[in-house]
Amino acid sequence: MSAYDVVKDFAGPVATICAAVAATSITGLFAAKQWQTAYMQAQIALDKLKIDTFGDRMAVLKATRSLMRLVVSTRSGEVPDLHKMQELRRTIDDGRFLF
Protein backbone atom coordinates (compact mmCIF):
# COMPACT_ATOMS: atom_id res chain seq x y z
CA MET A 1 0.00 0.00 0.00
CA SER A 2 1.42 3.34 -1.02
CA ALA A 3 1.03 6.76 0.55
CA TYR A 4 -1.26 7.72 -2.31
CA ASP A 5 -3.67 4.90 -1.45
CA VAL A 6 -3.75 5.92 2.22
CA VAL A 7 -4.44 9.57 1.36
CA LYS A 8 -7.06 8.50 -1.19
CA ASP A 9 -8.81 6.27 1.35
CA PHE A 10 -8.93 8.94 4.07
CA ALA A 11 -9.58 12.01 1.91
CA GLY A 12 -13.37 11.52 1.92
CA PRO A 13 -13.80 11.12 5.69
CA VAL A 14 -11.36 13.96 6.45
CA ALA A 15 -13.24 16.26 4.06
CA THR A 16 -16.53 15.28 5.71
CA ILE A 17 -15.15 16.03 9.17
CA CYS A 18 -13.78 19.40 8.00
CA ALA A 19 -17.15 20.30 6.48
CA ALA A 20 -18.96 19.29 9.67
CA VAL A 21 -16.62 21.39 11.82
CA ALA A 22 -17.09 24.38 9.50
CA ALA A 23 -20.88 24.01 9.55
CA THR A 24 -20.90 23.68 13.34
CA SER A 25 -18.72 26.77 13.72
CA ILE A 26 -20.95 28.86 11.47
CA THR A 27 -24.05 27.64 13.30
CA GLY A 28 -22.44 28.58 16.61
CA LEU A 29 -21.66 32.08 15.32
CA PHE A 30 -25.25 32.55 14.15
CA ALA A 31 -26.58 31.33 17.50
CA ALA A 32 -24.30 33.73 19.40
CA LYS A 33 -25.46 36.67 17.27
CA GLN A 34 -29.11 35.70 17.75
CA TRP A 35 -28.60 35.48 21.51
CA GLN A 36 -26.93 38.88 21.53
CA THR A 37 -29.80 40.38 19.52
CA ALA A 38 -32.40 38.83 21.83
CA TYR A 39 -30.57 40.16 24.89
CA MET A 40 -30.44 43.67 23.43
CA GLN A 41 -34.15 43.50 22.57
CA ALA A 42 -34.94 42.48 26.14
CA GLN A 43 -32.93 45.44 27.48
CA ILE A 44 -34.73 47.81 25.10
CA ALA A 45 -38.10 46.39 26.18
CA LEU A 46 -37.25 46.99 29.85
CA ASP A 47 -36.18 50.56 29.12
CA LYS A 48 -39.39 51.15 27.15
CA LEU A 49 -41.45 49.78 30.03
CA LYS A 50 -39.73 52.14 32.45
CA ILE A 51 -40.36 55.10 30.15
CA ASP A 52 -43.97 54.11 29.48
CA THR A 53 -44.82 53.78 33.17
CA PHE A 54 -43.01 56.94 34.26
CA GLY A 55 -46.06 59.18 33.79
CA ASP A 56 -48.29 56.78 35.69
CA ARG A 57 -45.80 56.50 38.54
CA MET A 58 -45.52 60.28 38.73
CA ALA A 59 -49.32 60.56 38.95
CA VAL A 60 -49.31 58.12 41.88
CA LEU A 61 -46.53 60.05 43.62
CA LYS A 62 -48.38 63.34 43.13
CA ALA A 63 -51.58 61.78 44.49
CA THR A 64 -49.66 60.50 47.52
CA ARG A 65 -48.19 63.93 48.10
CA SER A 66 -51.61 65.57 47.78
CA LEU A 67 -53.14 63.07 50.20
CA MET A 68 -50.41 63.69 52.77
CA ARG A 69 -50.77 67.45 52.30
CA LEU A 70 -54.54 67.17 52.77
CA VAL A 71 -54.18 65.12 55.96
CA VAL A 72 -51.44 67.32 57.43
CA SER A 73 -53.22 70.58 56.61
CA THR A 74 -56.43 69.45 58.30
CA ARG A 75 -56.74 71.04 61.73
CA SER A 76 -57.61 68.94 64.73
CA GLY A 77 -61.32 68.53 65.13
CA GLU A 78 -61.87 69.43 61.48
CA VAL A 79 -63.16 66.80 59.04
CA PRO A 80 -61.05 66.49 55.87
CA ASP A 81 -62.65 66.40 52.44
CA LEU A 82 -63.59 62.70 52.32
CA HIS A 83 -64.49 62.73 48.62
CA LYS A 84 -61.06 64.14 47.74
CA MET A 85 -59.37 61.60 50.03
CA GLN A 86 -61.23 58.69 48.41
CA GLU A 87 -60.28 59.92 44.94
CA LEU A 88 -56.62 60.18 45.89
CA ARG A 89 -56.71 56.74 47.55
CA ARG A 90 -58.17 55.23 44.37
CA THR A 91 -55.37 56.76 42.32
CA ILE A 92 -52.79 55.38 44.72
CA ASP A 93 -54.42 51.93 44.77
CA ASP A 94 -54.59 51.82 40.97
CA GLY A 95 -50.86 52.40 40.76
CA ARG A 96 -49.90 49.65 43.19
CA PHE A 97 -48.45 47.41 40.46
CA LEU A 98 -46.25 50.20 39.06
CA PHE A 99 -43.73 49.98 41.87
pLDDT digits (tens, 9 = 90+) for 61-88: 999 899 888 888 887 778 778 888 888 8
Q: What average pLDDT does range 32-55 have in this prediction? A: 95
| pLDDT tens-digit series, residues 9-25 | 888 999 999 999 999 99
What is the percent of the chain where pLDDT is above 70? 99
What is the model's pLDDT at position 18? 96
Q: What is the pTM of this model?
A: 0.56
- Residue 7, classified by CB atoms within 10 Å of its CB into exposed (0-12), middle (13-18) or buried (19+), is exposed
Q: Where are the beta strands (DSSP E) in the chain?
A: none
pLDDT class for 99, splitting at 50, 70, 90? low
Q: Where are the domains of the chain?
A: 3-98
